[in-house]
Chain A
Amino acid sequence: MIKALEGADGVVTIGGGSVCDSAKAARLCLANGITDAVGMDRLRPYNKAKGSEPDGTISPSLPFIAVATTLSAAEFTSAAGVTDERGPRKQVFVYPGLAPDIVILDPQVTRQTPPKLWFSTGIRALDHALETWCSTNPTPLSDAHSSYAARLLITSLPKVFDSPNDIPARLDCMKSAWLSILGPASGVKAGASHGIGHALGGTAGMPHGETSCVMLPHVLRYNASVNGDRQAVIAASVGNPTTPLADIVAGLISHLGLPTRIRDTGVSETVMAAVAEAALHDPLLASNPRPIKSLTDLQLLLEQAW
């Protein structure tokens, strides 16, 4: 792919997060004369503790247009997840200029997207929005973006499920996925749904969309004792002021025909100890609104999600 891009003066991606991330990484390689996995070893994988400090890497300059077909919102970040086939292991690279220059959100083209992919990435976007809204370090901008995105996702996803040709509802989903990622992309920290999700993805190979389905309601329920007031604002905004937000989200996931428990995703119970151990060391667990102080706390949460 890198070699093929040498003959182009622009790249257009059509697809979701994997396609977009591949183009991000290929443009980065192209700018730095890298042609293979060995060459990529001199790039610096993202380290949450160190952030995105400069390391002499040249930012990509090849013009980049992304046509989104899912709700992953990968088009709006400067992060690229790359699988090293020598491992295999997944690394994330974050550099300035990785994000597409122009993003096209045309709801008509998403009618070709498989429903399960569309809706699971929609719940992933809802996960971004709600963990940003409930974050320990929100900003006025992220509050505006995330609350709007959460309300729109909760109301629009069922409309698309019930009427797949509802183009305005599809566009509302796309707009809210866009808004949902702006908080995390500007430094607002997510919580345990993402932290445990990383562990489920890394240890059990579960896609982000599914990790959000099986973790988000349980994490909301766990956190309700410290941010129930914030959760109630979203519940009220979708017309259910007396229903716990966790129940609203769980009901939405069920309505969309997505898995609501870890065991329904095909993950073996034997890997759950490793998932818990990996999650305990994820930085986003530390930024969960209600502290998860021990492996026992975490295992309890995982048991509820199992």
Chain B
Amino acid sequence: MREGRDSGWSLPSTLQTVAFGVPIADALPEAALRLSARRLAIVTTNSLAGSGGLAEVVRNILDQSSTLSWPAFILILRAQMSCA
């Protein structure tokens, strides 16, 4: 069958869980619990990793979570990413 505006194939999208409008302090521990992830690496950029920045906020949330047995650690990436 010809593919066009009125006929065609709809391919499956990626199955994902999305927490929308849920404060990160609630959503992140819940997400880690759902994935049974206890030792988490936080990956972010320099601009968000400074003192009082979002990465620190997230690490504090994770470190205070009773579901995690290890402190989270932060990996800081350059603004322009590469995998070389």
* A interface, CB within 8 angstroms of B: 1-2, 4-5, 7-15, 18-19, 21-23, 25-26, 29, 36-37, 40, 63, 65, 67, 69, 76-78, 82-86, 88, 99-109, 112, 114, 136-142, 171, 174-175, 178, 182, 185-187
Contact = CB atoms under 8 A, between A and B. Distances in A.
B48 A86 contact: no
B25 to A, nearest CB: 9
Given A10-B35, A12-B58, A14-B48, A102 B17 contact: yes
Contacts of B82: 82-85, 88
Nearest to A88: B82
Interface of B: 3-5, 8-14, 16-24, 27-28, 31-32, 34-45, 47-48, 53-55, 57-58, 62, 72-73, 75, 77, 79-84
Contacts of A100: 16
Contacts of B57: 109
B5 A137 contact: yes
B83 A101 contact: no
Contacts of A1: 43, 75, 77, 83
Contacts of A26: 43, 83
Contacts of A78: 14
Contacts of B39: 7-10
Given A67-B28, A82-B82, A105 B20 contact: yes
B24 A103 contact: no
Contacts of A83: 80-84
A182 B27 CA distance: 22
B27 A106 contact: yes
